[in-house]
Copies of this chain bind each other. A is one copy, B any other.
């Protein structure tokens, strides 16, 4: 029963998406869902700020318990509902090590993707430099090659091996963003195979960003040469 839970989320946020995937995987679909618009500034509304002084999405409350940080919400849900739905942290220390390693490497992966995709959003006009754009694109390429290698060496179809885990919930949204912005499937065949396989999973389909069903990215070719 997740009727005591409320999730405020935005459609274009990989951080929100990972929490939504975990809620699906743990069979907690009956949570209260509030989709907000970043464009309209709804993440800064009083309703959100009361729960999350950072005014960011996701904002998540379970009864009186607040966990807005996406990694934190994922771990909290897996811990509280350990025996419900799919097990998202393996028991065996060897598998757990890979799982935690990949899970938190998504922090760097997401940053490097964001530095390229959202450069003009993050950096004010007078502070932009072609040298920074070039460096960011090179850093993302290096990062993509690392993940391509991880998938090549993985002991199963998922990012940390045989089972879908919190690491997949955290990395899939980033990979989906990259392909939405034009990442070349031929240049990153393992990432493409992973993306095309995992996107059919029920938890992913059920939480697919609704705005993506309506329209393509503003700049759908941004990453085609990365």
Contacts and interface: CB of A to CB of B under 8 A. Distances in A.
A129 B126 contact: yes
Interface in A115-164: 124, 126-127, 129, 131-132, 146, 149
Nearest to A105: B69
B127 A100 contact: no
Interface residues of A, number: 37
Contact of A104 (B72, B108, B124): B72
A38 interface: no
Nearest to A149: B53
A67 B100 contact: yes
A65 B99 CA distance: 11
Contacts of A127: 127, 129, 131-132
A77 B130 CA distance: 43
A204 interface: no
Contacts of A146: 53-54
Interface string A55-84: 000000010111111111101100110000
A41 interface: no
A221 to B, nearest CB: 26
A127 B132 CA distance: 8
B53 A97 contact: no
A217 B3 CA distance: 51
A107 B68 CA distance: 13
A96 interface: yes
A144 to B, nearest CB: 13
A124 to B, nearest CB: 7
